[in-house]
Amino acid sequence: MAMPTYVMSCFKLPRKLLKDINSAMANYWWGETNGKNKMHWISWKRMAEDRQEGGLGFKDLETFNKALLGKQVWRVITKPNLRVSKVLKAKYFPKESIFTCKA
Written as one string, the DSSP assignment of the chain is: --TTHHHHHHS---HHHHHHHHHHHHHHHHSEETTEEPP--S-HHHHTS-GGGTS-----HHHHHHHHHHHHHHHHHH-TTSHHHHHHHHHH-SSS-TTTS--
pLDDT score, position 103:
57
pLDDT score, position 81:
95
pLDDT score, position 83:
95
In a domain, 77, yes or no: yes
How many domains does the chain fold into? 1
Q: What is the pTM of this model?
A: 0.73
Mean pLDDT of the chain: 85
Using one digit for the tens of pLDDT, what is the confidence trace for 33-83? 777 777 777 777 788 888 898 888 888 888 899 999 999 999 999 999 999
In a domain, 83, yes or no: yes
In a domain, 96, yes or no: yes
Domain that holds residue 61: 16-21+43-103
